[in-house]
């Protein structure tokens, strides 16, 4: 492995992960809002990384009502209303 590849692996293993709401299958969308297509569905009980966050469609879920969307991978967003971050605000840098 190159030093760059090793740095990527290290970053992946140290990225904080947050649990999605228990017993809920969460839609992952291609953008920060309910108008974007669903690209996959998360299984109940998984944890996700939050790379960055941005405003989008307001959604109500187990963890409140919010317009914050979490980027969990390239082109993959979930509403923060379904992710237990321990905060009603931003916990990561803004996307952009």
CA angle at 45 for the pair 5 and 32, rounded to the nearest 5°: 70
The model carries a pTM of: 0.84
Which residues is 49 bridged to in the sheet?
A: 17
Residue whose pair of structure tokens reads 């740095």 in the numeric block: 7
In this predicted model, what pLDDT tens digit does every residue of 10-27 receive, in sequence order? 455 567 999 999 999 999
Measured in whole angstroms, the distance separating CA 63 from the mean position of its chain's CA atoms is 13
**If you average pLDDT over every residue of the chain, what do you get?**
90
């Amino acid at each position: 492995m190159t030093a760059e590849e090793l740095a990527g692996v290290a970053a992946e293993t140290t990225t904080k992960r947050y649990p999605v709401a228990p017993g809920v299958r969460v839609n992952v969308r291609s953008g920060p809002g309910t108008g974007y297509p669903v690209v996959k569905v998360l299984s109940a009980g998984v944890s996700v990384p939050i790379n960055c966050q941005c405003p989008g469609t307001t959604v109500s879920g187990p963890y409140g009502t919010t317009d914050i969307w979490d980027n969990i991978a390239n082109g993959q967003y979930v509403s923060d209303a379904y992710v237990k971050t321990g905060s009603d605000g931003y916990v990561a840098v803004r996307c952009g």
